[in-house]
Chain A
Amino acid sequence: MASVTYRNVTKRWGDFAAVSNLSIEIPDGEFLVFVGPSGCGKSTSLRMLAGLEEITEGEILIGDRVVNNVAPKDRDIAMVFQSYALYPHMTVYDNMAFGLRLRRTPKQVIDERVREVAASLGIEMLLDRRPRQLSGGQRQRVAVGRAIVREPAVFLLDEPLSNLDAKLRVEARAFISKLHQRLGTTFIYVTHDQTEAMTMGQRIAVLRAGELMQIDTPSNLYEHPANIFVAGFIGSPAMNFFDNVLLTEEDGRMIVAADPYSLEVPEERYELYRPYLGKRVVFGIRPEDVHHPDYPPAGIIPAMGEANVDVVELMGNEKIVYLESEGKTILSRMDPRSDVRVGHRTGAVFNMANMHLFDPDTELALQ
């Protein structure tokens, strides 16, 4: 059981900064997810914590101990790798017992723990097999078992689900979440998949090009993205952006002139946005906040618009509609009953209660 602290951590290879000035505090028992596109430094951050990469600047603490110069084996961590990295020449039992044996744990204790963990993961019948005789999902469980059998203070997972097929991935997601609840250990999880991040993380750290863009709970990230990058990265399909939009005032009402629409800003935001009046901003609205006029949900603050229907994808529970207006594509998640036909015009209702405005220069949210 331990907290983890990144304090101004930087990793450089020559001139290239893989991670710059990362500072995060992870309290004991938290499930934190590092998410970002490939090459954003999320794996490097995890590997520095594991002791597999040197830290160029700053320090990393596990508990209140600085671990910069502590060997991986002495950091009291365990890691699940993307490729699982099981030892092919050992049985499942030996794979799981390996770490304990190296730590000179008594044989009897090893046997007890391995069998207990194997039973809890449902792999007790695989103990005598070798990794190549296992399916992908079984290998993944063995890799997890090998990590938890050591009862580490911090549990590191580096894209552990990316080698599984879609169905298994959903199961494994729930399995890892449950595991975290049961163990109560600090989990640090790296993924490029924002769905995994949103569904599993208690807090999510979004990284881009080695820099921390935002760290917050999934719902806060979703509802209050701090910048354009996070707004576009979290949520699927991604948020619609209108660049180069003028914020104006007409008859005492604040208007977003998102060509071709003039959308009214909700009154409670007037105070917040007043300093930006007459300036250019970026307007963002999520696809789920663009509705069909026949099926507007209750409690929204509507603003009306019109567009051509370009593509309709029926998902069963909803229709993903690609609206086209003056050369701009707007994605919308409409009620499945919505009467939209390709090539026809349709009305669109924007829920301005969930609108987002960003500064076009700093890319930060106006708040």
Chain B
Amino acid sequence: MSVFTWIILGLLVGSLGTYLLFSDRGRNPDHGALIGGIAGAVGSLVLLIPLWIYVYVQGKQPVYELPKDRPPLSGKHLTRMALYAFLILMMLVYLLPVYTVVVTSLKTPKEAGKLAKVWDLPTEINWKSYETALDELGPQLKNSFILTISATIISAVMGSMNGYVLAKWKFPGANIIFPLMLFGMFIPYQSILIPLFQFVQDIDLGGTIYGLIIAHVVYGLPITTLIFRNYYAEVPTEMLEAGAIDGAGFFGIYRWIVFPLSLPGFVVVIIWQFTQIWNEFLFAVTLTDQSSQPITVALALLAGGEAVNWNLPMAGAVLAALPTLVVYIVLGRYFIRGLLAGSVKG
């Protein structure tokens, strides 16, 4: 990150801080805020520049290289600054709902109910909402884990094998079957809801989590197949031929050569499927009953009805959002690499 980013960040933070400090004081709040903002900006600069010089001098290899052969503030830098300022602003807007959810979840029921104070910080931190939410949503959270983990693994493994066959064992008719599978991605959930419900009833899995698992596996196959097929298309065919000559058969090649190379592909598919299935609501509400419903359904029920204590569903929402966040943080660094597949070249 360039020095200018830090300066902009410093300016923003400084201005914001001083604005908050001065906004409630004085007779003319706007005037005070303006002064505060400028003071904050100057303050940040005064603070940041010595820090920057210190880092520059201290580091044996300077962390921030001073531009030597061009003026420090060219037009390019100014546009950069404007761009960063804009992006930071957009990020703040984007994070507003998250802020509301977290803040509300920490309020007492009474305080959470006041619409006018929605943006305010809680006067006292109330962790109890989380305890209650965990008690109330515990079983559904468990259902969600069972559903998401099994459906993700099954659809990922099946998609991987589909992709392997479609990419490397071109059987007659493969060019018809593959596009047909892809059509599955574009079928809206709603349009197949009734037949799906009837089908799951007919195979005696209605109202269970297993029916929902099957539905998600089938609905996930087109995208997982597509991702793996494109990923395997990059695996050199000669390598699989070498495997065939070395003595591996159809499954041997998959097990010993293709599968071990698939980690980035699996990361992409797992993140995608985990998020999709975890967050999915429509299938879940249709195919499960009270005892087997996943967290998305339970959360909706918690927020439904009148006289809601908003702190509770907000705490539930935070709980429900955490697993996908964890999956993304843990696997995320492989995500981009997987999307840019082509990383398998020997």
CA distance A146 to B346 in the complex (A): 15
Contacting residue for B346 out of A50, A77, A83, A150, CB 8 A: A83
Task: Tell whether B63 is near chain A: CB-to-CB under 8 Å.
Answer: no
Is there contact, CB below 8 Å, between A102 and B346?
no
Is there contact, CB below 8 Å, between A78 and B257?
no
Is there contact, CB below 8 Å, between B244 and A85?
no
Binary contact readout B240-261 vs A (1 if CB under 8 angstroms, 0 otherwise)? 0111111111001000110011
CA distance A98 to B243 in the complex (A): 9
Query: What is the minimal beta-carbon distance from A161 to any residue of chain B, in angstroms?
Result: 16
Q: What is the number of residues of chain B that contact chain A, defined by CB distance less than 8 Å?
A: 20
- CB-CB under 8 A for A72 and B238, given A83-B346, A102-B252, A132-B346: no
Task: Tell whether B78 is near chain A: CB-to-CB under 8 Å.
Answer: no
- Choose, from A86-94, A241-249, A271-279, A289-297, the stretch at the interface: A86-94
Query: What is the minimal beta-carbon distance from A70 to any residue of chain B, in angstroms?
Result: 12
CA distance A77 to B244 in the complex (A): 11
Which residue in chain B gives the minimum CB-CB distance to A86? Answer: B346
Is there contact, CB below 8 Å, between B245 and A78?
yes
Q: What is the number of residues of chain A that contact chain B, defined by CB distance less than 8 Å?
A: 27
**16 further interface pairs, Cβ-Cβ under 8 Å (given A85-B242, A98-B243, A146-B242):** A51-B244, A52-B241, A71-B244, A73-B246, A79-B241, A83-B236, A85-B238, A86-B239, A87-B257, A98-B256, A99-B247, A102-B247, A102-B256, A131-B346, A132-B346, A150-B246
Task: Tell whether A103 is near chain B: CB-to-CB under 8 Å.
Answer: yes
Which residue in chain A gives the minimum CB-CB distance to B261? Answer: A89
Is there contact, CB below 8 Å, between A79 and B242?
yes
CB contacts under 8 Å to B, within A63-87, are 71-73, 77-79, 81-87
Is there contact, CB below 8 Å, between B346 and A98?
no
- CB-CB under 8 A for A83 and B247, given A88-B261, A98-B256: no
Task: Point out residues on A near B: beta carbons under 8 Å.
Answer: 50-52, 71-73, 77-79, 81-89, 98-99, 102-103, 131-132, 139, 146, 150
Is there contact, CB below 8 Å, between B261 and A85?
no
> Please, could you name 8 A-B residue pairs with CB atoms under 8 Å apart, sorted by A?
A51-B244, A73-B246, A81-B242, A85-B242, A86-B346, A88-B346, A99-B247, A102-B246
Is there contact, CB below 8 Å, between B249 and A84?
no
List the B side residues contacting A82 at CB < 8 Å.
238
CA distance A193 to B243 in the complex (A): 27
List the B side residues contacting A103 at CB < 8 Å.
247
CA distance A98 to B239 in the complex (A): 13
Which residue in chain A gives the minimum CB-CB distance to B345? Answer: A88
Query: What is the minimal beta-carbon distance from B253 to any residue of chain A, in angstroms?
Result: 10
Is there contact, CB below 8 Å, between A72 and B245?
yes
Task: Tell whether B344 is near chain A: CB-to-CB under 8 Å.
Answer: yes
List the A side residues contacting B239 at CB < 8 Å.
85-87
Is there contact, CB below 8 Å, between A73 and B248?
yes
List the A side residues contacting B243 at CB < 8 Å.
87, 98
The listed residue with most B CB atoms (<10 A of its CB), out of A77, A79, A103, A132, is: A79
Which residue in chain B gives the minimum CB-CB distance to A83? Answer: B238
The listed residue with most A CB atoms (<10 A of its CB), out of B236, B249, B346, is: B346
Query: What is the minimal beta-carbon distance from B239 to any residue of chain A, in angstroms?
Result: 4
CA distance A209 to B261 in the complex (A): 37
Which residue in chain A gives the minimum CB-CB distance to B238? Answer: A85
Contacting residue for A102 out of B241, B248, B344, CB 8 A: B248
List the A side residues contacting B245 at CB < 8 Å.
50-52, 72-73, 77-79, 99
- CB-CB under 8 A for A81 and B238, given A52-B244, A72-B245, A99-B246: yes
Which residue in chain B gives the minimum CB-CB distance to A50? Answer: B245
The listed residue with most A CB atoms (<10 A of its CB), out of B242, B248, B252, is: B242
CA distance A102 to B252 in the complex (A): 9
CA distance A73 to B243 in the complex (A): 9
8 A-B pairs closest in CB distance: A99-B246, A102-B247, A85-B238, A85-B242, A73-B247, A88-B346, A85-B239, A89-B260
Query: What is the minimal beta-carbon distance from B248 to any residue of chain A, in angstroms?
Result: 6
Query: What is the minimal beta-carbon distance from A103 to any residue of chain B, in angstroms?
Result: 6
Is there contact, CB below 8 Å, between A85 and B241?
yes
List the B side residues contacting A83 at CB < 8 Å.
236, 238, 346
CA distance A71 to B242 in the complex (A): 13
CA distance A79 to B236 in the complex (A): 16
Which residue in chain A gives the minimum CB-CB distance to B260? Answer: A89
CB contacts under 8 Å to A, within B181-199, are none
Query: What is the minimal beta-carbon distance from B330 to any residue of chain A, in angstroms?
Result: 21
CA distance A150 to B239 in the complex (A): 17
CA distance A51 to B243 in the complex (A): 12
Which residue in chain B gives the minimum CB-CB distance to A79? Answer: B245
Binary contact readout B295-327 vs A (1 if CB under 8 angstroms, 0 otherwise)? 000000000000000000000000000000000
List the A side residues contacting B236 at CB < 8 Å.
83, 85
List the A side residues contacting B242 at CB < 8 Å.
79, 81, 85-87, 146
Query: What is the minimal beta-carbon distance from B216 to any residue of chain A, in angstroms?
Result: 30
List the A side residues contacting B345 at CB < 8 Å.
88
Query: What is the minimal beta-carbon distance from B264 to any residue of chain A, in angstroms?
Result: 12
CA distance A194 to B182 in the complex (A): 48
The listed residue with most A CB atoms (<10 A of its CB), out of B243, B245, B260, B345, is: B245
